[in-house]
């Protein structure tokens, strides 16, 4: 018998038959193990917030919350998602460089733990909104630090950015607390970058962030009720990368956190994680429609592609590297050939894997992209060529749950209008 990829005993062919392809499948047990693998080792004072950006599906958020994760959100819909998923407002923080008045108002009205402000004009707007409401707005300041992280996929600090307020500027603005009487400046946030795969780099970042927070607090007479040390914990996707060791990481962090909490016992410490929590638990499943050769290379043309999984095109690198991929319905067959795995889009860019070692591929096969639970459909051009979003299925405790319906043609067309040549919008100047 051929060995088949299964999620908690459910064969992938059964999932494909029930829900169709392309399809994202999430393994709830993998999600739980991932969360607890870190949580159970991490210093108890450090809270884990889930960054919805990585996978904003409401069921993923709810499941992570059921394990103990809080939520870090960056849009009105992410905020609504977290609250509807059952995350209490006091376990939610909102960040992002361009928050609207409506989003900031929603933060204040829903009573979240903190609005993380990324510029002084934003603090001023929050101050105004708080005054209108007769409340004091809990605000943490996002700092763009002078130092940069080494060896991360995408570094944040140490350069001009739209994110946060420059460290220098903050130290020079000593009247900040006085200037905004309706804002409760209660914390500091620093995010150093993403896809970090070195435990020592995360420990060093955390040390420097906690130190910066203390210095800022002293210089600005700022309360430190919260320090968000970011995170940026990576997962390995490509050859030559290796996963973080949760034990090594948490052992390294422990004395740093212990030291800080001894001096600031009342401070909420936050780590915000997206990719690290969800990537491993997800598989993108595509059905092969056609196979062909072109100028000596093999092509498997699948029903899914980069419009659902832009990340698989190679994150932040000029060299195209492949995510881990397999023919899911024939796992035991050796990878004896090289295949270009492409999708239905009319662009050569719709190549999800280049020269991927696979067994001989046949139409009807199911090709899977592993480690696809983060930055999938919502980080991809899902509307390109109007294919729309795929279905998403969560398998948890042996049960299958459709957690996102596949877009139908009607879903995609309903917000467009066929113009009527005899009418015009009221605002237009008739001629």
Ligand X SMILES: *Cc1c(COP(=O)(O)O)cnc(C)c1O
**Which stretch, 22-30, 38-46, 178-186, 225-233, contacts ligand X (CB under 6 A)?**
225-233
Stretch that binds ligand X, among 121-129, 175-183, 271-279, 288-296 (CB under 6 A): 271-279
Binding mask 159-198 for ligand X (x = CB under 6 A): --------------------------------x--x----
95 near ligand X, judged by CB under 6 A: yes
Rounded-to-integer distance, Cα 31 and Cα 24, Å: 14
Taking the complex as a whole, how short is the minimal distance between the CB of residue 313 and ligand X, in angstroms?
17
Which residues, 6+ apart, have CB-to-CB distance to 320 below 8 Å?
A: 313, 314, 354
Distance, in Å, from the CA atom of 420 to the CA atom of 402, rounded to the nearest integer, reads 38
3-state class of 373 per DSSP?
coil
Distance CA 392, CA 406 (A): 8
302-341 residues in contact with ligand X (CB under 6 A) are none
Rank residues 186 and 271 by Cβ distance to ligand X and give the closer one: 271
Is residue 54 within the footprint of ligand X (CB under 6 A)?
yes
Kindly list the distances between the CA atom of residue 328 and the CA atoms of 284, 291, 360, 366, in Å, as whole numbers in the listed order. Answer: 11, 16, 12, 6
Size of the site for ligand X (CB under 6 A): 15
Contacts of 134 (CB under 8 A, 6+ apart): none
Piece in contact with ligand X (CB under 6 A), picked from 24-32, 130-138, 228-236, 400-408: 228-236
34 binds ligand X per the rule CB under 6 A: no
Task: State the nearest-atom distance from the C-beta of 217 to ligand X, in Å.
Answer: 20
Q: Which of 23, 28, 51, 244 binds ligand X (CB under 6 A)?
A: 51
Smallest Cα–Cα separation from 190: which of 226, 227, 233, 153? 227
Name which of 15 and 270 has its Cβ closer to ligand X: 270
Quickly count helices (H) and strands (E) in the chain: 12, 22
Of 17-25, 30-38, 213-221, 270-278, the window that binds ligand X (rule: CB under 6 A) is 270-278
Q: In this chain, which stretch among 202-210, 268-276, 293-301, 357-365 interacts with ligand X, using CB under 6 A?
A: 268-276
Spacing of C-alpha 90 from chain mean position = 21
Site string for ligand X, 281-300 (x = CB under 6 A): --------------------
The least distance separating ligand X from the CB of residue 303, rounded to whole angstroms, comes to: 27
231 binds ligand X (CB under 6 A): yes
Closer of 189 and 298 to ligand X (Cβ): 189
Verify binding: residue 237, ligand X, rule CB under 6 A.
no
The stretch among 215-223, 273-281, 313-321, 414-422 that binds ligand X (CB under 6 A) is 273-281
- The Cα–Cα gap between 423 and 431 comes to 12
- The residue from 27, 118, 272, 350 that contacts ligand X (CB under 6 A) is 272
Counting beta carbons within 10 angstroms of the beta carbon of residue 386, is it exposed (0 to 12), middle (13 to 18) or buried (19 or more)? exposed
Beta carbon of residue 287, minimum distance to ligand X (angstroms, whole number): 28
Q: Which residue's CB comes closest to ligand X?
A: 274
CB of 96 to ligand X, least distance (A): 8
Largest CA distance in the chain: 74
CA distances from 144 to 78, 189, 198, 312 (A): 24, 9, 22, 29
Q: Could you say which of 56, 274, 343, 373 contacts ligand X (CB under 6 A)?
A: 274
Q: Residue 412 burial (CB < 10 Å; 0-12/13-18/19+)?
A: middle
- In terms of CB distance, is 257 or 273 closer to ligand X? 273
Per-residue interface string for the shown chain with ligand X, residues 347-386, x marking contact by CB under 6 A: ---------------------------x------------
DSSP letter at 313 equals G
Site for ligand X contains 152 (CB under 6 A):
no
Q: How far apart are CA 198 and CA 150, in angstroms?
A: 10
Nearer to ligand X among residue 5 and residue 35 (C-beta):
35
The reply to whether 65 sits near ligand X by the rule CB under 6 A is no
Q: For residue 249, give both structure tokens.
A: 């990481």
Residue 37 burial (CB < 10 Å; 0-12/13-18/19+)? middle
User: Which residue in 408, 396, 426, 397 sits closest to 26, CA to CA?
Assistant: 396
- Could you tell me which stretch among 47-55, 198-206, 364-372, 382-390 binds ligand X (CB under 6 A)? 47-55
- Least separation in angstroms between residue 375's CB and ligand X is 7
Q: List the one residue out of 210, 377, 386, 358 whose CA is nearest residue 288.
A: 358
Residues that bind ligand X (CB under 6 A): 51, 53-54, 95, 191, 194, 230-232, 272-276, 374
């Amino acid at each position: 018998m051929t060995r088949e990829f299964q999620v908690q005993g459910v064969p992938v062919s059964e999932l494909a038959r029930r829900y169709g392809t392309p399809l994202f499948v999430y393994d709830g047990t993998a999600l739980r193990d991932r969360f607890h693998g870190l949580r159970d080792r991490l210093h108890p004072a450090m809270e884990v917030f889930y960054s919805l950006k990585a996978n904003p599906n409401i069921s993923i958020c709810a499941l992570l919350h059921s394990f103990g994760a809080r939520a870090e959100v960056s849009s009105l819909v992410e905020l609504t998602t977290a609250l509807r998923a059952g995350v209490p407002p006091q376990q939610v923080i909102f960040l992002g460089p361009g928050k609207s008045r409506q989003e900031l108002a929603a933060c204040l009205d829903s009573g979240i733990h903190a609005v993380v402000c990324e510029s002084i004009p934003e603090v001023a707007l929050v101050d105004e909104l708080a005054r209108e409401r007769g409340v004091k707005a809990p605000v943490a300041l996002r700092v763009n630090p002078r130092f940069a992280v080494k060896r991360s996929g995408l570094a944040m600090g140490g350069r001009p950015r739209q994110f946060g307020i420059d460290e220098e500027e903050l130290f020079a603005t000593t009247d900040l607390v006085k200037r905004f009487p309706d804002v409760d400046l209660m914390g500091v946030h620093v995010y150093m970058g993403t896809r970090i795969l070195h435990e020592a780099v995360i420990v060093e970042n955390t040390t420097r962030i906690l130190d910066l927070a203390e210095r800022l607090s002293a210089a600005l007479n700022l309360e430190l009720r919260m320090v968000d040390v970011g995170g940026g914990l990576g997962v390995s996707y490509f050859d030559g990368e290796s996963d973080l060791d949760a034990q090594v990481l948490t052992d390294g962090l422990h004395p740093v956190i212990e030291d800080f909490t001894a001096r600031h016992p009342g401070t909420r410490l936050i780590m915000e994680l997206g990719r690290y929590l969800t990537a491993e638990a997800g598989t993108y499943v595509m059905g092969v429609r056609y196979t062909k050769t072109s100028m000596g290379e093999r092509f498997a043309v699948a029903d899914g592609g980069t419009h659902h999984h832009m990340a698989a095109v190679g994150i932040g690198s000029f060299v195209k590297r492949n995510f881990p991929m397999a023919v899911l319905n024939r796992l035991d067959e050796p990878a004896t050939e090289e295949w270009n795995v492409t999708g239905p889009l009319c662009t050569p860019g719709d190549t999800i894997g280049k020269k991927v070692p696979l067994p001989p591929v046949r139409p009807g096969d199911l090709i899977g992209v592993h480690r696809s639970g983060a930055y999938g459909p919502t980080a991809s051009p899902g509307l390109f060529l109007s294919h729309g979003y795929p279905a998403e299925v969560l398998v948890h405790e042996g049960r299958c749950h459709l957690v996102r319906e596949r877009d139908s043609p009607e879903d995609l067309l309903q917000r467009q209008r066929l113009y009527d040549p005899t009418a015009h919008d009221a605002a237009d100047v008739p001629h």
